[in-house]
Amino acid sequence: LTTISDEARIALDTVTGRAAGLFRPSIRLGVTGLSRAGKTVFISALVHNLVHGGRLPLFEAQKTGRIARAFLEEQPDDAVPRFQYEDHVAALVDQRIWPDSTRAISELRLTIEFESASGWNRMFSAGRLSVDIVDYPGEWLLDLPLLGKSYAEFSDEAFELTTLPVRADLARDWRALSATVTPDSDADEITARRLAESFSAYLKACKLDERALSTLPPGRFLMPGDLEGSPALTFAPLPGVSATRGRPGSLHAMMERRYEAYKTHVVKPFFREHIARLDRQIVLIDAMQALNAGPAAMADLERAVTEILACFRPGRGNFLTDWFARRIDRILIAATKADHLHHESHDRLQAIVRRLADRAIAKASFTGAAVDVVAMAAVRATREGTVKQAGEILPVIIGTPLEGERIGDETFDGTTETAIFPGDLPKSADAVFDERPASEKESIEPAIRFVRFRPPKLERTAEGITLSLPHIRLDRALQFLIGDRLA
Ligand code: GDP
């Protein structure tokens, strides 16, 4: 699976990286999650809060006043696009709109100057840590299992998944088209393209559908990055190709060759050049959306988290994975957008995420890195209040719903602040993962009421200085991810 040059390159990279690290301590933090999970917002808020000395009481170095300053520096990798921090912050703060989401890999270097807490460290360390933040689509990460799969296995699994009730109708057109082709027929570009387009439409439909399904590989079909329209993406699974190899010149052989080319030229270099060098990882998940969409979406999210964790598990017999799996020592699974709930529900959300993570850890037989979970909001778009209704005092969240959002008959115009009953999460995480048939279990309806809000209006001090972006538990995430390196 791997060539000597992969190993040599990574080893050399690590040695030179470590040598440089002796003089300039640095840490590479991977930020991933499926599309719309909140990666862009998370990175923007993290950097904004550090650079502007935000309120981060659970981030020990900041709380104890040991951070002298944090600032952006030129990133070490010239070939990787820079994370467009300034544009994203301008969108969030000045225009109060959500920034453009992650579509490909990007990077940003944040350097923190600090005073070490221990006298020993103060004597020997420079008191400077560079955090190289690497933002990349989770869809690309989920390509990793393909490295260990033949084209026949990939095809079989893809068709098998379409038999799940939650996916069957979305896959109907693609399945119907696939049924009309004979894998052993002569290779033909037009057929290959039609199949690839139809397969990719199905993958996209899974993502866009309100069932909020997570992702199937190949990741670039959903997030093509700079491969948009490229021949490397013109393949699709074929039915009934298990256990055989394609006859030379057949459609089957053509698809198989392209599948292998995708692995060699797209998947492997991505892992070798980017993922293999990470030290820490945060995986963002949109648990709110999945909870809102129902049990099938939660099960699907669990499957995605299992697959993501499996990517970080050492000992899969693949050099590339082993390398980075051993290197990464902390993984944080973070449910963002907790600002859609009243704070009374934040612990419930966290308990649900913990249960989800525990189940995923067990299913993926995950060992190695320390895994923690958090329910957070990188940017808090709401504040809390109470409303009196029929003599009862009820907790509400107050924010400006995005233009076009609706609750019942009401459609919002994007300018009006509104109080909303966020609804409740189930008291116990058990209810969410209850696998008994619907008729036998406690109903977890009514679900949370989910409207999207505009980013918050930032407060200004008397001197006109804009305060940093408000958040929920971003500091807890930071402490887990980099706190020990500032000790
Ligand atoms: P990405 O695809 O992972 O980069 O996702 P984004 O960071 O672009 O987030 C997708 C959308 O989720 C945003 O446009 C927001 O609508 C919403 N979002 C992300 N993070 C938060 C958050 O902390 N609070 C709220 N209220 N919404 C968020």
**Whole-number pLDDT of residue 307:** 87
291-318 burial, b for 16+ CB within 10 Å, e for fewer?
A: bbbbbbbbbbbbbbbbbbbbbbbbebeb
d(CA 41, ligand 1 centre) in Å: 5
**Whole-number pLDDT of residue 319:** 60
Cα–Cα dist 470/464, whole Å = 17
For the CA of 98, the closest atom of ligand 1 is: 14
For the CA of 41, the closest atom of ligand 1 is: 7
Question: Domain 4-136+274-380+473-486: which topology?
Answer: Rossmann fold (3.40.50)
For the CA of 378, the closest atom of ligand 1 is: 23
For the CA of 381, the closest atom of ligand 1 is: 26
d(CA 50, ligand 1 centre) in Å: 19
SS3 state of residue 253: helix
Query: Looking at ligand 1, which residue's alpha carbon is closest to its atom 14?
Result: 98
Query: Looking at ligand 1, which residue's alpha carbon is closest to its atom 17?
Result: 38
If phi over 0 gives left and psi between -120 and 50 gives alpha, with beta otherwise, what is residue 186?
beta
**Whole-number pLDDT of residue 446:** 47
d(CA 267, ligand 1 centre) in Å: 26
For the CA of 377, the closest atom of ligand 1 is: 23
d(CA 98, ligand 1 centre) in Å: 7
18-27: list long-range contacts, CB under 8 Å, 24+ apart.
23/126, 24/126, 24/128, 24/130, 25/125, 25/126, 25/128, 25/129, 25/130, 25/485, 26/76, 26/109, 26/129, 26/130, 26/131, 26/132, 27/129, 27/130, 27/131, 27/132, 27/279, 27/280, 27/482, 27/485
Query: Looking at ligand 1, which residue's alpha carbon is closest to its atom 2?
Result: 36
Query: Looking at ligand 1, which residue's alpha carbon is closest to its atom 8?
Result: 101
**Of 34, 35, 36, 46, which is best to mutate to test ligand 1, by the most ligand atoms within 8 angstroms of its C-beta?**
36
Cα–Cα dist 472/380, whole Å = 6
C-alpha pair distances (Å), 125 with each of 27, 122, 320, 351, 472? 15, 6, 32, 38, 32
Among candidate residues 199, 191, 231, 232, the one with its CA nearest the CA of residue 217: 199
Q: Beta-carbon neighbour count of residue 52 at 10 Å?
A: 14
Q: Beta-carbon neighbour count of residue 37 at 10 Å?
A: 27
For the CA of 399, the closest atom of ligand 1 is: 26
**Whole-number pLDDT of residue 440:** 66
User: Residues 459-478: pLDDT tens digits?
Assistant: 777 776 668 899 999 999 99
- Say if residues 223 and 215 touch (Cβ distance below 8 Å): no
SS3 state of residue 28: strand
Residues with CB under 6 A from ligand 1: 33, 35-41, 98, 101-102, 336-337, 339, 377-379, 381, 452-453
d(CA 40, ligand 1 centre) in Å: 7
Domain ranges of the chain: 4-136+274-380+473-486, 150-265
Concatenated DSSP letters for 313-353? -S-SS-HHHHHHHHH--EEEEEE--GGGS-GGGHHHHHHHH
d(CA 285, ligand 1 centre) in Å: 10
User: Residues 381-415: pLDDT tens digits?
Assistant: 999 998 888 888 888 999 999 999 988 888 999 99
**pLDDT less than 50: residues of the chain:** 1, 446
d(CA 454, ligand 1 centre) in Å: 10
Tokens of 102: 């992650």
